[in-house]
Amino acid sequence: MEKLKPKALQKGDTIAIIAPSGHVSYQEKFETAQKYFENLGYEVKIFPNAKNKNGYLAGTDEERIFDLEAAFCDKNVKLIMTARGGYGAARILDKIDYKIIKNNPKIFCGYSDITAFHSAIYKKTGLVTFHAPFALADFGSETVDEYTERNFWKRITKNDLSEVENAFAYTCVNGGKVSGELVGGNLCVLTSILGSGFEPDFKNKILYIEDVNEPLYKIDRMLAQLRLNGIFKEIKGLLVGIFSSDEEDFDKKVIELLKELETPCGYGFSASHETPKATLPLNIKYEADFKTGKIKLLEDYLL
Active site residue 21: no
Q: Position 155: which residue type?
A: R
Active site residue 112: yes
Q: What DSSP assignment string belongs to 196-261?
A: TT-S---TTPEEEEEEES--HHHHHHHHHHHHHTTHHHH-SEEEEEEEE--STTHHHHHHHHHTT-
Catalytic option among 199, 210, 270, 272: 210
Mapping DSSP onto H, E and C, the string for 118-184 reads HHHHHHHHCECCEECCCCCCCCCCCCCCHHHHHHHHHHHCCCCCCEECCCCCCEEEECCEEEEEEEE
Catalytic option among 21, 112, 119, 270: 112
Catalytic option among 23, 118, 131, 273: 273
Active site residue 63: no
Give the separation between CA 172 and CA 267, rounded to whole angstroms.
Answer: 6
The CA-CA-CA angle for residues 50, 81, 273, to 5°, reads 100
Of 295, 69, 266, 37, give the one whose Cα is nearest residue 152. Answer: 37
Give the separation between CA 288 and CA 180, rounded to whole angstroms.
Answer: 8
Of 124, 174, 130, 114, give the one whose Cα is nearest residue 5. Answer: 130
**Residues labelled catalytic:** 112, 210, 273
